[in-house]
Structure 1
Amino acid sequence: MTPQALVPPAALPSPARRAEPGRAIILMICATALLAGTTLIAKALGTDALGAALHPLQVSFGRFLFAWVVIAAAIAVLRPKFSKPDVKTHVIRTFCGWAGVSLMFAAAASIPLSDATAISFLNPVLAMILAIPLLGERVGRWRWLAAAIAFAGAMILIRPGSAVMQTGALLALGAACALGLELIFMKRLSGREAPAQILLINNSIGLAIAGCAVIWVWQAPTGAQWAGMIALGCVMACAQVFFINALARADASFITPFSYLTLVFAALYDGVVFGVIPTAVSIMGALTIICGAALLAWREATHRRKG
């Protein structure tokens, strides 16, 4: 999972607020800590840490089920105004998001969380490339340079052609592709619907898709696994709230780079809970991907200011 798997900045036409950069940073740090926590919980559920390993599709079902409960309860209390939704775009976007989440959970169970998280940061770069055929966007040389740098980092982590190339890294790459495609369809919703509406519809459709998929792999969870799935959904819902509120209090170009702290928290959690220490190759690959993603974010911010 990545911050882009929450709600992209372009999809947040929130009412204007007074800029609060300090509070925005704190909120984003909380969001990244919680987001990294979701991959940690997913790893515990997908391994034998809490009982017989659950299938990634079952872990994904738990994430959507309990996130939906939290979001639906909040909306029932707050009663925000909804508009007519673009159902087709919501369905396609949610299917891509569900696929990305499921692949990410599978990756988190088999490779270090820092590697899976780093590879997932490719999704904005992949979204940029997919926007060429799908949205007719033009991509300049700076964007291509950012993409090349990010992909070089991914190749460092995936190690193509070597004996140490892992299936988990390919699963994380697949997750980045699916989440990148999700961002494309999120652009079509940008500014058209309120964040609360997007969150509720996304989690409702995601729950329906996950519920159909989990039938084929369902196994009775242990009490600890039920608790883990409840925590997974609740932590994800809270991460979404912190992320949205951070973006509402500062420019996206200022606050989004702090989302890369997700990688730091993922490595920290993996080391403390599972005793996994990032290797030099992992650190090099992660830093390369972050450089590419950061260059893309800087270029986008510069482009918007000139526009």
Structure 2
Amino acid sequence: MVTAQVLFTIMGVCTRLGAQRLPWSEVAAARAVLGAAVAIAIARMRGAPLVIHDRRTAWARSICGTVAMICTFYTLGAPAIALGDAVTLGATSPIFIAILAPWLLGERSGRIVWVATTVAFAGVALVAGPSFRLSGRLSLVSLLGAVASALAMIWLRRLGTGRSGTPRESPEAIVTHFSLVAGVTLSVVALPTLRVPDLEGALFLLGTGASGAFAQIAMTRAYALDRAARVGVWSYLGVVLTHVAAMGVLGEREDPIGLAGSALVIAAGLGLTWSGLREARAATLASTPCQTGR
């Protein structure tokens, strides 16, 4: 998951730079198409199957993921909202995961989830508040993308693990299915404004597609290995990295209030992690039989 967040940060920077030369939809379509190509190539190298057994769940994951991708690239490519703010709002998806997981996955959530939710959305208000008049619509699109991403990750958790706890679908198969659905959808969206990129634009498209594809495979593997709420919280590392990259690479100025909001969102995620670790430890102790000496 850490590897995925580093790659997603690179994808965000390439998207913002690429959107200065090309329509956001074209950048997003390149990301999806290249994602499918990379997933298929890795599957060939590893000998991993590309067969999907649970097609209903796979389609639910791919449709939600496509909606999330549209929202994400629309905001990443919009200069009216800072890159770090767009990523912070999108990174609220683990909060939505923790809220929805009890109903959709049967993974219980305690009181800490509701406390974390309150803190996280206070952070969202601080992030979106100072620039809401200029980018309020973009902020709402980011939050819509976060909800769609949360649903996609929940279906991903169900899709990636069988009844015995072993992986049921290969990460490459899941990513290929999603990338093909997103690629076809975004290619249709991009057709009316399609442009031929210059060399620099082509490099940004390649960087966006390659980094996003490998990040997707790493993230898919992470969700197949552990509980959705606990794994998803590591996406907050991407928030920190993106803020740093926005300042260092793009030269964007960070608003102190927005940074405070980002800190609250991250703190909420850390609270969920702490709660998840405690629950996992308690479950392990409860399932361990008592041992007596001879």
Under TM normalisation by the shorter chain, which class is it?
0.7 to 0.9
Q: Does 2:275 match 1:275?
A: no
Give the aligned partner of residue 33 of structure 2: 65
Helix, strand or coil at the partner of 1:80: coil
Which among 6, 10, 15 is matched to residue 37 of structure 1?
Answer: 10
Give the aligned partner of residue 276 of structure 2: 300
Give the aligned partner of residue 145 of structure 2: 175
1:245–1:87: structure 2 CA closer, same or farther, 3 Å change rule? closer
1:254–1:139: structure 2 CA closer, same or farther, 3 Å change rule? closer
Give the AA of the match of 2:125: M
Give the aligned partner of residue 290 of structure 2: none
Give the aligned partner of residue 189 of structure 2: 213
State the 1:257 CA deviation: 5.8
Helix, strand or coil at the partner of 2:249: helix
TM-score (norm 2): 0.81
State the 1:63 CA deviation: 0.3
Gaps of 5+ in 2: 162-167, 284-294
For 1:207 and 1:272, the matched residues in 2 are separated by 31
Helix, strand or coil at the partner of 1:274: coil
CA-to-partner distance for each residue in 1:200-240, whole Å, 9 max, x for gaps? Answer: 22222222222333234433333322221121111122334
Query: For residues 255-266 of structure 1, what are the structure 2 equivalents within 5 Å?
Result: 259-266=235-242
Q: Greater CA radius of gyration, 1 or 2?
A: 2
CA-to-partner distance for each residue in 1:152-194, whole Å, 9 max, x for gaps? Answer: 1111112289645533322221211111121222232131322
State the 1:246 CA deviation: 7.5
State whether residues 46 and 106 of structure 1, in contact with CA within 8 Å, keep that contact through their aligned partners in structure 2. no
Give the aligned partner of residue 189 of structure 1: 159
TM-score (norm 1): 0.78
State the 1:298 CA deviation: 2.0
Which among 103, 112, 126 is matched to residue 142 of structure 1?
Answer: 112
Q: How many residues align?
A: 275
Which among 11, 14, 19 is matched to residue 46 of structure 1?
Answer: 19
State the 1:266 CA deviation: 1.1
Q: Does 2:133 match 1:157?
A: no
Query: For residues 79-90 of structure 1, what are the structure 2 equivalents within 5 Å?
Result: 79-81=47-49, 84-90=52-58
State whether residues 68 and 144 of structure 2, in contact with CA within 8 Å, keep that contact through their aligned partners in structure 1. yes
CA-to-partner distance for each residue in 1:106-126, whole Å, 9 max, x for gaps? Answer: 222332221112112210111
Give the AA of the match of 1:35: F
Give the aligned partner of residue 225 of structure 1: 201
For 2:252 and 2:130, the matched residues in 1 are separated by 22
State whether residues 116 and 269 of structure 2, in contact with CA within 8 Å, keep that contact through their aligned partners in structure 1. yes
Gaps of 5+ in 1: 4-27
1:253–1:156: structure 2 CA closer, same or farther, 3 Å change rule? closer
Give the aligned partner of residue 7 of structure 1: none
For 1:167 and 1:293, the matched residues in 2 are separated by 25
Query: For residues 12-27 of structure 1, what are the structure 2 equivalents within 5 Å?
Result: none
State whether residues 246 and 255 of structure 1, in contact with CA within 8 Å, keep that contact through their aligned partners in structure 2. yes
1:193–1:122: structure 2 CA closer, same or farther, 3 Å change rule? same
State whether residues 39 and 173 of structure 2, in contact with CA within 8 Å, keep that contact through their aligned partners in structure 1. no
Helix, strand or coil at the partner of 1:278: coil
1:298–1:253: structure 2 CA closer, same or farther, 3 Å change rule? farther
Stretch moving more, 261-270 or 153-162? 153-162
State whether residues 61 and 214 of structure 1, in contact with CA within 8 Å, keep that contact through their aligned partners in structure 2. yes
State whether residues 108 and 168 of structure 1, in contact with CA within 8 Å, keep that contact through their aligned partners in structure 2. no
For 2:60 and 2:229, the matched residues in 1 are separated by 27
Sequence identity (%): 24
